[in-house]
Amino acid sequence: MNAPALATVELPEPDETPAPVDDAAADRAPDAPRPRVNLLLMAMTTAVATFSMHVFVPALPAAAAALSASPSQIQLTVTLYLVGLALGQIVHGPISDRFGRRPVILSGISIYLVGTVGALLAPSLGTLLVARVLQSVGSCAGLVIGRATIRETSSGPGAVAALAVLASAITLSSAVAPLVGSYLSLLLGWRMLFAVLLVAAAIILLLLYLRFPETNSERSAPLSLSGMALGYGRLLRLPAFMGYSLCGAACTVTAYAFYAALPFLVGEELPHASLGIGFIYLAVVAGSILGALTARQAARRMSLDSIALIGTSGATLAAVAFLIGRAIAPDTVATLVAPLFLMTYAGGFANPGAATLAMSANPHAVGTASSLYGFIQMAVGALVTLFVGLVGHDSLSVGWIVSISMGSGLAGLLIARRSRRQHLSD
């Protein structure tokens, strides 16, 4: 069966001042054929990182007992996984800009396999921690290369549609993973979680080897730490990149605040709804996926900037509505679920457009842009969950944190739009 084809675009020749890509113009001139990538395979590869993080959480108590670890010690398997996920993304992008996407994604999944074998056989907590770091550093190659590949093989509506699929895969895998982890750990034991991950990742690696083409036709200069720093420095100085990245991060990971707070919030403020907390989480997941799929359709008739603006504005308004609704009717489940669904729906709608525009800020360093974009996402997610832990898990505290985060994302988007318009008019 042939792999599904994505829309292709010819990247412009390098110039001294990287500029945002005019997607409309790019779509009018697809002169050079570009490699085709299998979107389903990219979605599976991208989802490995988040699925592997969440699937082990239900098995933490069993692993702690088996390895004679305390709850705080076994929790490090999650904390260090997140650290590896953030730092690994910083490295994969520049390397793939220099050597290509294919060797990096194959090497990344291979590293993940080594880490998975280590976790499966780990005789001690220390070994398990090292193995989890290897898993995260290896698996996040899928996140970076997935975004970069989409941006190199599609533009405009095609890029939004493909990124929406990847975003949905990440969200769905995050939601399903704890359920899968619970049943596998209960039926087969916590080590068998890693056996299942090992088999699945081996299949994905084989498919990547057979079906994943090289998409990077413009290799960067020889790689060095100073070169990496220079590349990131250029992106950090681009208002368009920073604004779109902040917008995408706010729309994507602000929901992390609710993931962290919901068990406590519902237990304290809505005890009569405690048995239905799974359906509340479902509202978060459903909102994100439906929003991304709506963006995929909207990209056929709307600009990327419009999609990002409408979605971010809607998510900001929904966050404020949550704050107001919980203040007025704190005993009502609807004031929790309705704004939460609308916020994640609008955020899921905005994210593909924001991500595409962020990685268009410098079309000659797409891998580096994908890395920094992912790092910013993780940093914003860590900050909002940290603030929830410090400030409180009640509705008003969470509402203020989320509203400020979404407001910052909207401000970043407005700055990016202004910068992009100025450049395109020059």
pLDDT tens per residue, range 58-70: 888 889 999 998 8
Neighbours of 79 (CB within 10 A): 12
Is 303 exposed, middle or buried (CB count within 10 Å of its CB: 0-12, 13-18, 19+)?
Answer: middle
Q: What is the pLDDT of residue 281?
A: 72
Give the closest residue to 400 by CA, choosing from 247, 254, 271.
254
Q: What is the pLDDT of residue 221?
A: 61
- What residue spans in the chain does CATH classification 1.20.1250.20 cover? 33-223, 231-426
Superfamily of domain 231-426: MFS general substrate transporter like domains (1.20.1250.20)
pLDDT the model gives residue 262: 75
pLDDT in tens, 332-351: 888 988 999 999 999 999 98
Q: Give the pLDDT score at 22.
A: 42
10 Å CB burial of residue 263 (0-12, 13-18, 19+) is middle
User: Residues 100-118: pLDDT tens digits?
Assistant: 899 999 999 999 999 999 9
**CA dist list (Å): 360 to 151, 370, 416:** 8, 10, 12
The confidence score (pLDDT) of residue 275 equals: 67
pLDDT at 20: 43
256 neighbors 347 (Cβ within 8 angstroms)? no
pLDDT digits (tens, 9 = 90+) for 291-314: 988 988 888 888 889 999 999 999
C-beta separation of 101 from 215 below 8 A: yes
Specify the fold of 33-223. Growth Hormone; Chain: A; (1.20.1250)
Tell me, what DSSP letter sits at residue 70? Answer: -
Q: Which of 383, 382, 375 is nearest to 358 (CA)?
A: 375
pTM for the model? 0.73
165-212: pLDDT as tens digits: 888 888 888 778 888 888 888 888 999 999 999 999 999 999 999 999
pLDDT-based confidence at residue 77 (cuts at 50, 70, 90)? confident
